[in-house]
Amino acid sequence: MSIQKWTILGTGLCGGILGGVLMYAGTLSPLAAADEDAGPPPASLARAAELSDAFRWVSRRTLPAIVSIRTTRRISSPRMTRGQDDFPFGRRFGGSQADDLFEDLRRRMQEQQSPGNSGEIATGEGSGFIIEASGLIMTNAHVIRGASDVYVGLADGREFRATDIRADDFADIAVLRIDTEDTLPIVPLGDDRDAEIGDWVLAFGSPFGLDRTVTQGIISAKSRGMKNLPVRQEFLQTDAAVNPGNSGGPLVNMRGEVIGINTAIETRSGGYDGISLAIPVSLARWVSDQLLQDGRVRRAYLGVTPAELTPEIARSMKLPTSRGVVIESVRPGSPAATGGVEPGDVIISLNGEEIRTRQQLMTIAERLRIGTPCTMVVLRDGSTESLQITAAEFPLDMADSTSPASSSRIEELGVAVAVLTPELAEQLDINIDAGLVVTDLLRGSIADRLGLVPGVVLTRIGNTDLQSADDLRQGLLEAGRRGQLVLLVSSSSGTRLLSIPFEPQN
C-alpha cells in the first residue's frame, strides 16, 4: 500500500513539474534552440568514444576464445593438519607478499575438500584460451598441476574433458586439447617484444569464478622479475585488474593479439592491489612449441652464477658503466668455463642482445641454440673482450635431482622435499650450502597455507638447521609440542621467516 502511495505521489510531482515546464516554455525555448544548434560533442568525447569502440572490438574478437578450466583431483593421502583460519591460503609473511595466481594463486583455485581421510575430491578453477581451431588450449601449468581430470568450459556453455595435457613447470606453461569436430574460435598470438610501456591492454579470464571477465589497463613495465618467488624468468607488469581465477587467461593488445598469460599478482591484501604480472607470449610460444613437438623443453646451459651490477659494485670494480651483469662464479667444466668466462667478468651482451638484468641474461641464455657457438661480450679489467660460447643442454642430472624418486614425503607438513645439492643450488640461483628443496606440495596443507612453492629451500625449523628429511620430521615433533611452527626458507630473492600455529596430526 505504501509503495502505491509513493508511486502516485511521484506521478503527481511529475505532473506539476511538467505543468511548470509548459508554463515557462516561452522563456526556455531560446535556450533549447541554442542546445540544438550546439553541434557535435567536443573532440575529447569523440576520442573517448573511439577508445570505447576499440575495447568493444577487442572484447568481441577475444571473448569467444576464452575458456574456463575446472580441475578435480582424488587425494589418496590423509588430510593434513590445518592452522588457524586467520592465516589465509597462500599468504606470504613479511616483505612485499607476492601472492601468485602461481601455485593455485591464492584461491584462484577455490579448493573444496569433502570430509574424511581419503578419497577426497579437490576442485580448482582457472582460465585459458584457444590457440588452434582444432581445440588446442594454452594456460598456466599451475592451473592443471596435480589434477586427475581437467574440464574446459567454452563460451557457448559446452564443457569438454581435456586430453593430451603437456606442461612445463619451470616456465609455468601448459597446453591441452579437447576433442571436438567443430571449428573453434581462436585468439591469435602476438609478440610482447613489440609492446611498449604505456600501451593499452585487456586482461581476460574468470576471476573468482566469474567467467569471461574483461579488465583494462596499460603495460606498466617490461622485463620485471618477481619478488619472493623462486622463478627467474621475466614478466610483463600491468595495472589491468587480475584476481584469483584469472590465472592462465590472456593479456591482449589493442590489435586483439595475446602478448602475455596472466600469472601472478603482487599484493598485500590477498586481492588485486594494482600490480599484475604476465608471462610474455614469446616465452609461452617457445615453450609450447617444444611441448607439442617433443613433450619436453630443452633449455640451454652456460654454467654461471650471475648477480645484478649495482652502481656501488661498478664503482668498487672501477667500471666505466653500471650496465650489465657481474659473474659471481663459473661452474668447472661448464660451457662458460670452456669459453673463457671468469668470476668478476661483467656480461654486457649475449648473442647480439644487450644485457641489463640477471633475469634478462637467464631468459636469453636458456633459449640459445644448443651446440651452436654464440658471442658473449664482457668487461674484464676495464677492457672489452668477445668470447665464443657454445651452450650445452641443461644437464639431466640436475633436472632429475628434483624428481619424486629423490624426494621424501613429509605428511605432517604436506610437502615432498629433496636434499639441496650444489647442482640444485645453482639451478635455483640460491647461494646457500645446505637445506631441503620443496619439490611438491599438497593443496590445503600447512605448507600451502604458509605460501611455500616448489623450488624454495627450507633451511631451519625452530633452532635446528635442516640437513635431512629426518631433521625436518624431528623438528615438526618439537613444533607440535610447542604449538607453533617456525621455518626459515630461502629462495633466489632472499630469506624469510615463516610462522603458524601448529598441532601434531592425530
Domains of the chain from N-terminus onward: 44-297 (2.40.10.120), 300-393 (2.30.42.10), 397-501 (2.30.42.10)
The predicted-structure confidence for 181-211, as pLDDT tens digits, reads as follows 999 999 999 999 999 999 999 999 998 888 8
- Is 172 designated active site? yes
Using pLDDT thresholds of 50, 70 and 90, give the confidence band for residue 254: very high
The rounded distance, in Å, linking the Cα atoms of 433 and 424 is 10
The predicted-structure confidence for 141-172, as pLDDT tens digits, reads as follows 888 887 889 999 999 999 999 999 999 888 88
The predicted-structure confidence for 390-428, as pLDDT tens digits, reads as follows 999 887 555 444 343 456 788 888 888 888 887 677 667
Active-site residue among 68, 99, 142, 192?
142
Which amino acid, residue 194?
D
Active-site residue among 99, 168, 172, 239?
172
Over residues 352-381, mean pLDDT = 89
Contact 174, 139 (CB under 8 A): yes
Q: Look at the pTM and tell me if it is higher than 0.85.
A: no
- Which is nearest to 185 in space by CA: 248, 137, 138, 130? 130
Using pLDDT thresholds of 50, 70 and 90, give the confidence band for residue 377: very high
The rounded distance, in Å, linking the Cα atoms of 291 and 321 is 40
Taking each helix axis as running N to C, give the angle between helix 25-36 and helix 2-23, from 0 to 180 degrees, rounded to the nearest 10: 80
- Which is nearest to 188 in space by CA: 239, 250, 263, 278? 250
Contact 270, 99 (CB under 8 A): yes
The rounded distance, in Å, linking the Cα atoms of 66 and 245 is 13
What pLDDT shows up at residue 335?
93
Instruction: Return the half-sphere exposure (C-beta side, CA atoms, 13 A cut-off) of residue 131.
Output: 25
Q: DSSP for 189-216?
A: B--GGG--TT-EEEEEE-GGG-SSEEEE
What pLDDT shows up at residue 195?
92
| Sign of the alpha-carbon dihedral angle for 67, 68, 69, 72 | negative
Q: What are phi and psi of 405, to 5 degrees?
A: -65, -30
Where helices occur in 123-273 by DSSP H, the ranges are: 141-144
The rounded distance, in Å, linking the Cα atoms of 480 and 467 is 20
Angle at 53 between CA 49 and CA 55, to 5 degrees: 115
- Which is nearest to 102 in space by CA: 280, 358, 276? 276
- Which is nearest to 275 in space by CA: 234, 240, 226, 231? 240
* Residue carrying the nine cell digits 602475455: 260
Q: What are phi and psi of 152, to 5 degrees?
A: -115, 120
Q: Is the pLDDT of residue 279 over 90?
A: yes
The rounded distance, in Å, linking the Cα atoms of 313 and 200 is 37
- Is 223 designated active site? no
The rounded distance, in Å, linking the Cα atoms of 428 and 492 is 7
Which percentage of the chain shows pLDDT scores above 90? Answer: 33
- Which is nearest to 90 in space by CA: 498, 488, 506? 498
> Which run of H or E residues covers position 440?
strand 436-441
Cell of 189: 598470438
* Residue carrying the nine cell digits 593434513: 80
What pLDDT shows up at residue 504?
67
The predicted-structure confidence for 64-110, as pLDDT tens digits, reads as follows 999 999 998 765 443 333 332 222 222 222 233 333 333 333 333 33
The rounded distance, in Å, linking the Cα atoms of 189 and 257 is 5
The rounded distance, in Å, linking the Cα atoms of 20 and 145 is 69
Q: DSSP for 337-351?
A: HHTT--TT-EEEEET
What pLDDT shows up at residue 101?
35
The predicted-structure confidence for 281-318, as pLDDT tens digits, reads as follows 999 999 999 999 988 888 898 988 888 787 777 777 77
Least confident of 179-183, 229-233, 261-265, 322-326: 229-233
The rounded distance, in Å, linking the Cα atoms of 303 and 330 is 6
Q: Is the pLDDT of residue 178 over 70?
A: yes
Active-site residue among 127, 206, 220, 247?
247
The rounded distance, in Å, linking the Cα atoms of 398 and 422 is 9
Q: Is the pLDDT of residue 373 over 70?
A: yes
Cell of 253: 593488445
- Is 349 designated active site? no
Instruction: Return the half-sphere exposure (C-beta side, CA atoms, 13 A cut-off) of residue 440.
Output: 14
Q: Give the distance from CA 497 to its chain's centroid.
A: 23
Average pLDDT, the chain: 77
Contact 377, 347 (CB under 8 A): yes
Using pLDDT thresholds of 50, 70 and 90, give the confidence band for residue 229: very low
Name the percent of the chain in helix, strand, coil, to the closest 5.
25, 30, 40
15 three-class SS = helix
